[in-house]
Structures are given as structure tokens and as C-alpha cells.
């Protein structure tokens, strides 16, 4: 596999790793469209999307029977990448009506989860939702153009980002990015981060489209996140914790659990690094990091994936989302240039969508990997 020197942002060309392995354009296109159809309109044990009324829809976390800002924003990103405007608008309308706060300390943020009927289960936000909402909305504006509110996509995205940076300056609430370090927080009130929330490739694009006064902030945030991941990922294994302090060290156990180890949230780090490298190619360390994490999992079967300390010691606790982990390891091949890059892509191609109760998170990561590895996770704008 060959990697060009410049990222897709500059060349507007996207690697198709499936094509590099010999799969035909027809096979790849059919696989992508079939997977979309399965997730959005397939059998009950596969689908995660549900229409609601005449103008709304939601993505359900099947493992928890709720609707999350994470999944809603993921669904919007899937839809805009696939040029599916109806589903995008339905998801956005649900999020806008039921999840986005209109006043108070969380104004313009989104409640992180609610029931499928829209009833909020918790008012607090989760910043990974906000950053995906904003990026998907900017892409929608570029693909389809802005319409009447709430489908004035670019304006809605700027409102979200304005809150992320400036919330609390009037004395009420907290920003989603730490003002000193320029690092994204786990939640607005927390003094630590989540490595899997770091999307420097999004921040570089925000720097081109956010409010003009905040564009330098987003440029600085992109650089800060790239540097942060160097400290959050173990130098030998490549594994990162689910929660980490601003210096990259694992965060102390929280009242709701111990997140110092490599488990579900942390799977996304490999995928995010791969996509950042594909789009921007700004950090050669990302190649080494992607090789490291693939090497760690080289001889571990998907059925044996577990929770691990970041230095690689396994717990007697199986992975809750093994297909999702495999998907992110394959997506790391966008940056990796070692001997494991090709085998992980091939293994991913040969692995079907997950079915059953736990399928939501796995299959979201699966679809993003399918988009990215086929050259279809693209920048619009």
C-alpha cells in the first residue's frame, strides 16, 4: 500500500484501500450502499435508524434503548457522506426539537441522551456530539446549500461552535474546550479529557468556517490535539485510556467507573488518527502510532479482544464491541505503513455487520471505517 505525501484536503483525492487490495468499484459501491440500507432500513436485529412522524428520525443505542447525541451526530455524518438529505434532515430535526437546549447553562448544547419519544433522560451534554453535529452541518451546507431555519446548516453549526468556545463568559455554564490548553473536555464541567474526542481534522476545517473571531482558536485546538495524542497513546502498545488528564496521563477513577484503561471509548482514537492523516498529513508520528497499535493486536483474534491496561496487560473482561475495535484497527491503515495494514483491511472486509443488542456502537464505527477505507469519507466545502 502506498501513501501519497499530501492529504486529501490539498489534493481532493482519497485513497481507496479496498481498490488497492483488488476489489472492484462495483463490489465496493454495492457493499457501501447495502450496509447503509441495512443500518437504516434493514431487519430489526440490524437497523439502528427509525423514522418518527413526518419529519423526524433517530438513531437508537440498542444496548441502552436510548437516543444519544453521539449517535444522532454520527447518523448525520453518515447521511451527508452518502448524500442522503431526507435522513439527515429528519435526524437534525429530532436533535433540534428534543435535544438542543434553548436557554440556561447548556444553551445551544445538546442533552446527551433521551428516550426514543424525545423525553430527556439527562440535561448534560457530551462534547463529541457537538463536534460531529457541527462538522456534519458544515458538510451539509456545502453539499446541499442552506435552507430556511432549522436547515440553515452553516448558521446552526456556527451557533454550536460559538457555545463550545464561549459558554460561561457571561457567568453561566462552561465551555467545552479548556481555554488554557485548547483541549476538548470530557464534559463541560470536567477538568480532564477523553482522547477519543480529539478530532484535529475537524478543527482545521472549523478554522475555515467558524465565526471569524474564533478561527485562530480552532487552528490552535487542532495543533494542541495532535500534540496531546502523542502523550495519551502509550509509546510501545499505542493504546490510550478512555479518560485522560490534559497532560495525557490516565484520569483518576470516576464515581461512575474506572476509565484509565483501553476499552470502548478509546477504540475511536485509532480511527480518528487514521482519518486525520488521510485528510491533512500534518503529523508523521501518526504513521508510527498506527503501526504500533496494529502490531499490538496482530496475533489477537477478534473473539479474544479484551479490556487492557494501556501498557497492554489484559483483564479477564471481554470487549463489549469487538467488531467496532476491528473497524478502527482497519481504519488505522489510512496512516499505517507496516506489515499489518493490509491484513487488517482485508479482515475488516470479510467481517459482517454486528447483529443483536450491542450492535449500535460497533456498526457506527463499522460504517465510518467502510466510508474511509473506500475513499468515501470526504471533505465538503
C-beta separation of 47 from 342 below 8 A: no
Please spell the DSSP secondary structure of 106-175, one letter per residue.
TTT-B-SEE-TTS-EEE----HHHHHHHHHHHHHHHHHH---STT--HHHHHHHHHHHHHHTTTTSSS--
Which member of 38, 265, 283, 362 is catalytic?
265
Greatest CA separation for the chain? 58
For the question of residue 288 being annotated catalytic, the response is: no
- Could you tell me if 9 and 204 are in contact, meaning their C-beta atoms sit under 8 angstroms apart? yes
Distance between CA atoms of residues 338 and 130, nearest Å: 34
Check if 70 is active-site: yes
Peptide bond just before 150 cis, omega within 30 deg:
yes
What one-character-per-residue DSSP string does 308-365 give? Answer: E-TTSPEEEEE-S-HHHHHHHHHHGGGT--STTHHHHHHHHHTSPPP-STTHHHHHHH
Instruction: Find cell 428516550 and name the residue.
Output: 115
- DSSP 8-state code for residue 266: G
Surface-to-core class of residue 65, CB atoms within 10 Å of its CB (0-12 exposed, 13-18 middle, 19+ buried): exposed
Q: Which residues pair with 122 in a beta bridge?
A: 113
Q: What are phi and psi of 60, to 5 degrees?
A: -100, 135
Which of 38, 61, 66, 70 is the catalytic position?
A: 70
Output the DSSP codes for 17-84: HHHHTT--HHHHHHHHHHHHHHHHHS-TTT--EEEETTTEEEE-BTTTTBEEHHHHHHHHHHHHHTT-
φ and ψ of 6, to 5 deg: -115, 150
Residue 66 grid cell: 436510548
Which residues have a catalytic role annotated?
Answer: 70, 265
Amino acid at each position: 500500500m502506498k501513501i501519497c505525501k499530501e492529504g486529501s484536503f490539498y489534493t481532493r483525492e482519497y485513497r481507496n484501500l479496498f481498490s488497492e487490495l483488488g476489489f472492484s468499484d462495483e463490489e465496493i459501491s454495492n457493499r457501501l450502499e447495502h450496509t447503509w440500507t441495512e443500518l437504516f432500513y434493514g431487519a430489526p436485529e440490524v437497523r439502528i435508524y427509525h423514522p418518527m412522524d413526518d419529519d423526524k428520525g433517530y438513531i437508537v443505542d440498542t444496548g441502552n434503548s436510548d437516543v444519544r447525541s453521539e449517535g444522532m451526530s454520527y447518523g448525520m455524518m453518515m447521511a451527508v457522506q452518502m448524500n442522503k438529505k431526507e435522513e439527515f434532515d429528519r435526524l437534525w430535526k429530532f436533535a433540534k426539537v428534543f435535544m438542543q437546549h434553548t436557554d440556561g447553562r447548556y444553551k445551544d448544547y445538546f442533552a446527551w441522551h433521551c428516550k426514543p419519544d424525545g423525553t430527556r433522560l439527562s440535561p448534560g451534554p457530551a462534547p463529541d456530539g457537538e463536534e460531529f453535529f457541527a462538522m456534519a452541518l458544515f458538510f451539509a451546507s456545502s453539499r446541499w446549500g442552506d435552507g430556511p431555519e432549522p436547515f440553515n446548516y452553516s448558521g446552526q453549526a456556527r451557533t454550536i461552535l460559538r457555545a463550545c468556545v464561549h459558554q460561561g463568559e457571561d457567568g453561566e455554564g462552561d465551555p467545552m474546550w479548556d481555554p488554557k490548553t485548547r483541549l476538548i473536555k470530557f464534559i463541560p464541567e470536567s477538568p480532564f479529557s477523553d482522547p477519543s474526542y480529539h478530532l484535529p481534522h475537524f478543527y482545521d476545517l472549523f478554522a475555515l468556517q467558524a465565526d471569524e473571531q474564533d478561527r485562530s482558536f480552532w487552528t490552535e485546538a487542532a495543533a494542541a490535539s495532535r500534540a496531546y495524542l502523542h502523550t495519551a497513546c502509550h509509546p510501545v502498545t499505542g493504546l490510550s485510556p478512555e479518560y485522560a488528564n490534559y497532560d495525557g496521563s490516565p484520569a483518576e477513577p470516576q464515581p461512575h467507573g474506572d476509565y484509565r484503561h483501553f476499552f470502548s471509548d478509546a477504540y475511536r482514537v485509532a480511527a480518528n488518527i487514521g482519518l486525520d492523516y488521510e485528510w491533512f498529513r500534518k503529523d508523521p508520528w501518526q504513521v508510527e502510532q498506527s503501526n504500533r497499535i496494529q502490531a499490538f493486536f496482530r496475533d489477537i483474534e477478534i473473539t479474544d479482544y479484551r479490556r487492557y491496561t494501556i501498557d497492554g496487560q489484559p483483564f479477564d473482561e471481554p470487549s463489549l464491541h469487538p467488531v467496532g475495535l476491528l473497524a478502527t484497527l482497519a481504519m488505522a491503515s489510512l496512516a499505517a505503513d507496516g506489515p499489518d495494514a493490509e491484513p487488517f483491511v482485508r479482515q475488516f472486509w470479510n467481517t459482517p455487520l454486528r447483529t443483536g443488542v450491542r450492535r449500535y456502537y460497533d456498526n457506527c464505527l463499522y460504517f465510518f471505517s467502510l466510508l474511509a477505507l473506500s475513499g468515501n469519507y470526504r471533505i465538503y466545502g
